[in-house]
Chains A and B, each alone.
Chain A
Amino acid sequence: MPAFPHFLSGFLLSGTALLLAACGRQERVEVLQTRAPFKNEPVPKLGLSTAQRYAANDAQSMLRWNTPAGWFFLPATEFRHLNFSFGPKREGEAYLTLLPVAGSGGMLENLNRWRKQMAQPPLEEADLASLPEKTIFGRKVPFLDLTGTFTGGSGPMMAASEPKPDYRMLGAIFEAPGFLFTIKMTGPTALVTREAANFDAFCQSLGVGGTPGGGI
């Protein structure tokens, strides 16, 4: 029997290694590993929405909504619990804030703050009844539609901004048990006019717990 050249042994080893390197990862795998449920392991909750699972605040965990097509769902901030932007340069803003009634300033004070942002005179309590209404969360709430120069804060930190002429603001402020809801949209008049139907659809989609549009 001819002698096997020993120096080839190392090359054989390397060759085997290279062949094994060609082996790829499995793309379809049967799951065989299991474990028994742990003692006192809680039963997983069923039916949680994505928003409820990944809520950054109480509003996101409580509410259901539909994000209109073309809107950007922005990260929440301290005072914008549902936060969106829209428009070609994201210059339009829409957000929902949920505050405990105590310390929120109340409905009229907040409405007048918004009116001031659009250089509009304040309303009296008696004027609230004359405002147009929308149905949100299954209840009739006063609705604001203002046009003018916007001087309110914008951006994630609500920083005061330069006066913005030819702006439009749509919004609703109302109290529900324990909470003051504010829903607001601002942006250039043409853009807001184009997105008004989307804002309306967003307001209609708002619900609590179950499917969108539920009442509170």
Chain B
Amino acid sequence: MSAETPTLSPPETPRHRAGLTDRILSIVGSYHIAVVVFLLMIVLTLVGTFSQKTIGLYESLRIYFVSWMVPREGWLFGFIPLPGMALVLAVMFVNLLAGGVLRIKKNWRTIGNVIAHLSMLGLIAAGAASLWYKQEGHMRIFEGESNNRVSAFQDWVLEVQEPAGAEKTVAVIRETAFRTDSPAETTTFHRKEWPFELKVSGYQRNATITTTGDPAVLTASDQVDGYTLRPLEPNAQHEANMAGLFLDVLDSTGKSIARTVLAQAIRQGEIVTRSDAPFSFKAGERNFTVALTRESWEVPFSIHLDDFIATYYPGTRKAKEYESNVTMTNAAGKDTKFRIWMNNPLRDSGFVAYQTSFDDQSPPGQEKYSVLTVVKNPSDQWPFYSLIMATIGLCITFLTKLSRFIRRTVATPTPAAA
């Protein structure tokens, strides 16, 4: 028996470090994670798709497809938490990058695979860029008038401003920040330029203003000057929902110094109106206003509707074709004439304006108007390029495999005939 000799750990070498990196990449880029990711994608796609029937497209997107975590109302069977598609795709991105691009052996045989994996990364990146940076809304233009303002289809915002103040900007609070699952929950907003805080409570996704004596709100526990919110069943078409909430202006001690109820839809009995008149209040000597409105923004060009033309199917008022003949004035003041019609949008400054709706049934004396959907999506063309890459990658893979198969077939001697 030989004497025991002390064992020493081998010194760390570059090869060792590479081994560690490779091990990490092998875990992060493992097939096991890929399988879990694909299973979760299948579950989310199924649950999200079926849920559209009851909750509508917007809510389904919000709960399952653009969320990091599925909110409680979307849990599987009500008690199994689910990651949102954003998280699943983020994990898939890392998994693909590690396993399908970094870790994969790179040679002429795998180049097709690498390109195909890169195209999938491109598709995921396009989705992420669209989620964070895409702007979409509508622009209504009356015949003979110009417009450069776009209003969101769905997103409500609280806009706070001081009309006579030094700060000329309008503070914007998006619905995602004050939206709550229960009207009992509150959210408080502060800003260093404000001598107050705003507390939002009683949020309703869909509601109208009504009077406290309305038999439909006999149980209303909250009211302002005889007005309260009448909650309505949320509409599956989210753009039809009119948000409502109560708003308290808090002083530095947290005491409410002004209070209002905000919503654009007003219903008193059979009388239905809309109002975007802002709530105003004084904080010290300063006057502020708060309005609950659809988010809107300006585009760097204006569109003048020269003429709107609609043709109908014979004997009906169903539009067969409709088009807007417009003059676009760009930021430099240059005028360009365009015809916007089905599948022929106007493109400028990264924006695309599609013809989507119109009204030419206005009474005499009132102008017709055209509605354009205006979209700005920096990743607009990325899926197209990604799919071209995927096609190239898969073609290379196919041709490589085919070439290998042919070479093997040729190289293998065929048994001599008996």
What is the interface residue range for chain B against chain A?
35 or more
Q: What is the predominant secondary structure among interface residues of chain A facing chain B?
A: loop
In the assembled complex, how far is the CB of residue A82 from the closest CB belonging to chain B, in whole angstroms?
10
Q: Mark each residue of chain A from 27 to 41: 1 if its CB lies under 8 Å from any CB of chain B, else 0.
A: 111111111111100
Instruction: Let me know if B35 is at the binding interface, CB within 8 A.
Output: yes
Question: Contacts of B270 on A, CB cut-off 8 Å?
Answer: 77
Docked-complex contact B279 and A53, CB < 8 angstroms: yes
Docked-complex contact B279 and A74, CB < 8 angstroms: no
Considering the complex, which residues of chain A in the window 18-48 have a beta carbon less than 8 Å from any beta carbon of chain B? 18, 20-21, 23, 25-39, 43-48
**Do A73 and B69 contact each other (CB < 8 Å), given the known contacts A20-B87, A27-B188, A44-B289?**
no
Docked-complex contact B289 and A46, CB < 8 angstroms: yes
Nearest B residue to A49, CB-CB: B225
Docked-complex contact A73 and B213, CB < 8 angstroms: yes
User: Once the chains are docked, how many angstroms separate the CA of A35 from the CA of B170?
Assistant: 5
Q: Mark each residue of chain B from 148 to 188: 1 if its CB lies under 8 Å from any CB of chain A, else 0.
A: 11000000000011010000111111100100100001111
Q: Contact check: which of A14, A27, A33, A83 meets B174 at CB < 8 Å?
A: A33
Docked-complex contact B275 and A54, CB < 8 angstroms: yes
Question: Contacts of B278 on A, CB cut-off 8 Å?
Answer: 44-45, 48, 53
Chain B CB within 10 Å, residue with most, of A10, A38, A55, A84: A10
Nearest A residue to B265, CB-CB: A54
User: Once the chains are docked, how many angstroms separate the CA of A50 from the CA of B87?
Assistant: 44
Instruction: Let me know if B312 is at the binding interface, CB within 8 A.
Output: no
Question: Contacts of A47 on B, CB cut-off 8 Å?
Answer: 280
Chain B CB within 10 Å, residue with most, of A37, A56, A71: A56
Size of the chain A interface, CB-CB below 8 angstroms: 55
Q: Contact check: which of A29, A35, A37, A77 meets B269 at CB < 8 Å?
A: A77
Instruction: Let me know if B301 is at the binding interface, CB within 8 A.
Output: no
Considering the complex, which residues of chain B in the window 239-269 have a beta carbon less than 8 Å from any beta carbon of chain A? 260-261, 266-269
Q: Which of A1-9, A109-117, A136-144, A146-154 contacts B (4 or more CB under 8 A)?
A: A1-9
User: Once the chains are docked, how many angstroms separate the CA of A26 from the CA of B187?
Assistant: 7
Instruction: Let me know if A67 is at the binding interface, CB within 8 A.
Output: yes
Nearest A residue to B37, CB-CB: A13
Question: Contacts of B225 on A, CB cut-off 8 Å?
Answer: 49-51, 67
Docked-complex contact A57 and B271, CB < 8 angstroms: yes
Instruction: Let me know if A215 is at the binding interface, CB within 8 A.
Output: no
Instruction: Let me know if A156 is at the binding interface, CB within 8 A.
Output: yes
Question: Contacts of A9 on B, CB cut-off 8 Å?
Answer: 27, 30, 32-33, 36
Docked-complex contact A33 and B172, CB < 8 angstroms: yes
Question: Contacts of B227 on A, CB cut-off 8 Å?
Answer: 50-51, 54, 73
Instruction: Let me know if A76 is at the binding interface, CB within 8 A.
Output: yes
Nearest B residue to A77, CB-CB: B269
Question: Contacts of B319 on A, CB cut-off 8 Å?
Answer: none
Instruction: Let me know if A85 is at the binding interface, CB within 8 A.
Output: yes
User: Once the chains are docked, how many angstroms separate the CA of A56 from the CA of B214?
Assistant: 14
User: Once the chains are docked, how many angstroms separate the CA of A37 from the CA of B171?
Assistant: 10
**Do A85 and B213 contact each other (CB < 8 Å), given the known contacts A17-B87, A44-B278?**
yes
User: Once the chains are docked, how many angstroms separate the CA of A130 from the CA of B327?
Assistant: 71
User: Once the chains are docked, how many angstroms separate the CA of A52 from the CA of B260?
Assistant: 13
In the assembled complex, how far is the CB of residue A4 from the closest CB belonging to chain B, in whole angstroms?
6
Docked-complex contact A6 and B188, CB < 8 angstroms: no
Q: Contact check: which of A21, A32, A46 meets B163 at CB < 8 Å?
A: A46
Docked-complex contact B260 and A46, CB < 8 angstroms: no
**Do A23 and B69 contact each other (CB < 8 Å), given the known contacts A44-B291, A46-B289, A54-B266?**
yes
Q: Contact check: which of A35, A46, A52 meets B169 at CB < 8 Å?
A: A35
Nearest A residue to B269, CB-CB: A75
Docked-complex contact A34 and B273, CB < 8 angstroms: no
Question: Contacts of B267 on A, CB cut-off 8 Å?
Answer: 75
Nearest A residue to B31, CB-CB: A6
Docked-complex contact B214 and A74, CB < 8 angstroms: yes
User: Once the chains are docked, how many angstroms separate the CA of A56 from the CA of B265?
Assistant: 11
Instruction: Let me know if B337 is at the binding interface, CB within 8 A.
Output: no
Docked-complex contact B280 and A45, CB < 8 angstroms: yes
Instruction: Let me know if B209 is at the binding interface, CB within 8 A.
Output: yes
Instruction: Let me know if A179 is at the binding interface, CB within 8 A.
Output: no
User: Once the chains are docked, how many angstroms separate the CA of A67 from the CA of B228?
Assistant: 14
Q: Mark each residue of chain A from 66 to 98: 1 if its CB lies under 8 Å from any CB of chain B, else 0.
A: 010001111111000001110000000000000
Question: Contacts of B190 on A, CB cut-off 8 Å?
Answer: 28-31
Other 5 A-B pairs with CB < 8 A, given A25-B187, A35-B170, A76-B211: A6-B30, A13-B33, A28-B190, A29-B189, A44-B289
Q: 23 A–B contact pairs at CB < 8 A?
A: A1-B20, A6-B31, A6-B32, A9-B27, A13-B33, A13-B37, A17-B69, A21-B81, A25-B187, A28-B189, A29-B177, A30-B192, A34-B171, A39-B148, A39-B298, A43-B163, A46-B163, A54-B227, A54-B266, A56-B273, A67-B226, A71-B213, A75-B267
